[in-house]
Structure 1
Amino acid sequence: MQIFLETERLVLRRATLDDLDAIVELDSDPKVTWFVTGGRATPREVLRDEVLPRWFSFYDRYPGFGYFIAIEKATGDFLGWFLLRPNDKPVRSDGSTRDGIELGYRLRQASWGKGYATEGSKALVDKGFADLGVERIFAEALAVHGASRRVMEKAGLRFVRACRDNWPDKIPGDENGDVEYALTRDEWRVLTGADAATR
């Protein structure tokens, strides 16, 4: 198991083909995928033949970045995944630009409301700035996705702008557009006191 990062309650590690069944189950829960596909499940063959190979390619192309499986330390249970990755679609359909490294997460419904999304996100933000030389981290969500926006805020990211992109699945509320939250390295240093530690 290639551990990427540990927190108080989580282990984040690289994905493998052995994670396929758990990822299929995750993406088959309509509540989990509601704000992504409107609740439509991702077919197993798409996850196996397209999604996971794309994840694996990130590990080679961008060392230190990619998609990471979240495991609960206490039980060893699969909770979902996080991402910290260079974005391959820098320009949105409204002409605004995605700048920096993208933070994201998708967790099983049973793990919601326990602070795991915030814990993993904070750890990845710290890792990105402290160890990986990242200058800016951003995250996006539908404007109506309040739970995801709260995680971004708790992880230290700040609202930057309302924006809009064309997504393949139409979801109730997507007419309100998207939001971008972000944090720069300098803002992170102030937020965490890291700037004082380097003086």
Structure 2
Amino acid sequence: MTTRFFLETARLRLRPFTEDDLDRVVSLENDPGVRRFIDAGRPVSRDTVRRETLPRLLGRGFWAAEESASGEWLGWFCLEPESEPGWAVVELGYRLRRTAWGRGCATEGARALVHKAFTDLGTELVTAQTMTVNTASRRVLEKSGLRYVRTFFEEWPETIEGSEHGDVAYALTRAEWARSNRPEPPMSGQTI
């Protein structure tokens, strides 16, 4: 069986999730560093991943990320649609294994998805959110062309270190993206 990739960049391939990704997702969800800004790194049971997390990832707008050269599973990216049908407004997201950190993978994948959203999917607005103190994700969003919109405070079930500083919202409209004359991200292979 040939894998059909949703998107390929110079170093990454994004493909649909399958049930076979369960063990990879369990590992990702149980890395306290990966989930530090989500739920303070609290462990997630395999059953919870199987019943809740994986079905969400199998849905529209989520893709497993692999390194092109080795096929190593790196985590996931998303352009989660905010409404049905279509892709008019999407939320950009990603969760990568620590082995992918500091290598530009998050920026490369995010930039390629923003480009695809505005050129192929008919997207009008890309949004994203993260904790104010998550400076690494904030840098990725800014390098991907999104602009800071606001800081906001919500009630969460658990207090996470840094949550007293709130969360930040980022956004990029199609018109802003077009005006920026952003060059196409490096692509390789066929994009479908």
Q: Shorter-normalised TM-score: what interval?
A: 0.7 to 0.9
Root-mean-square deviation (Å)? 1.6
1:87 aligns with 2:82: yes
1:77 matched to which residue of 2?
Answer: 72
1:168 aligns with 2:167: no
How many aligned positions are there?
177
User: What secondary structure, in the 3-state scheme, does the structure 2 residue paired with 1:3 have?
Assistant: coil
1:177: Cα distance to partner?
0.6
Give structure 1 stretches of 5+ with no counterpart.
60-65, 89-98, 195-199
Instruction: Indicate conservation of the 8 Å contact 2:34/2:96, yes or no.
Output: yes
Q: TM-score, normalised by structure 2?
A: 0.88
1:35: Cα distance to partner?
0.3
| Further displaced range: 33-42 or 112-121 | 33-42
Q: Aligned pair in 2 of structure 1 residues 67, 169: CA closer, same or farther (>3 Å)?
A: farther
Give structure 2 stretches of 5+ with no counterpart.
184-192
Q: Would you tell me which structure has more helix in proportion to its own residues? A: 1
Amino acid at match of 2:77: F
Question: Structure 1, residues 151-180: CA drift from partner, whole Å, max 9, x if none?
Answer: 000101011111122333320110111001
User: What secondary structure, in the 3-state scheme, does the structure 2 residue paired with 1:141 have?
Assistant: strand
Amino acid at match of 1:85: E
How do 1:8-27 residues align onto structure 2 when only pairs under 5 Å count?
8-27=10-29
1:68 matched to which residue of 2?
Answer: 63
1:62 matched to which residue of 2?
Answer: none
Question: Structure 1, residues 71-130: CA drift from partner, whole Å, max 9, x if none?
Answer: 001111000100101237xxxxxxxxxx93100000001110000000000000001010
Identity, % of aligned positions: 51
1:32: Cα distance to partner?
0.6
How do 1:174-193 residues align onto structure 2 when only pairs under 5 Å count?
174-192=163-181
Q: TM-score, normalised by structure 1?
A: 0.85
1:152 matched to which residue of 2?
Answer: 141
1:45 aligns with 2:34: no
User: What secondary structure, in the 3-state scheme, does the structure 2 residue paired with 1:132 have?
Assistant: coil
Instruction: Indicate conservation of the 8 Å contact 2:107/2:141, yes or no.
Output: yes
The 2-side partners of 1:25 and 1:8 are apart by 26
1:91 matched to which residue of 2?
Answer: none
User: What secondary structure, in the 3-state scheme, does the structure 2 residue paired with 1:165 have?
Assistant: coil
User: What secondary structure, in the 3-state scheme, does the structure 1 residue paired with 2:6 have?
Assistant: strand
The 2-side partners of 1:70 and 1:193 are apart by 23
Alignment counterpart, residue 131 of structure 1, candidates 93, 115, 120: 120
Amino acid at match of 1:137: V
The 2-side partners of 1:100 and 1:177 are apart by 23
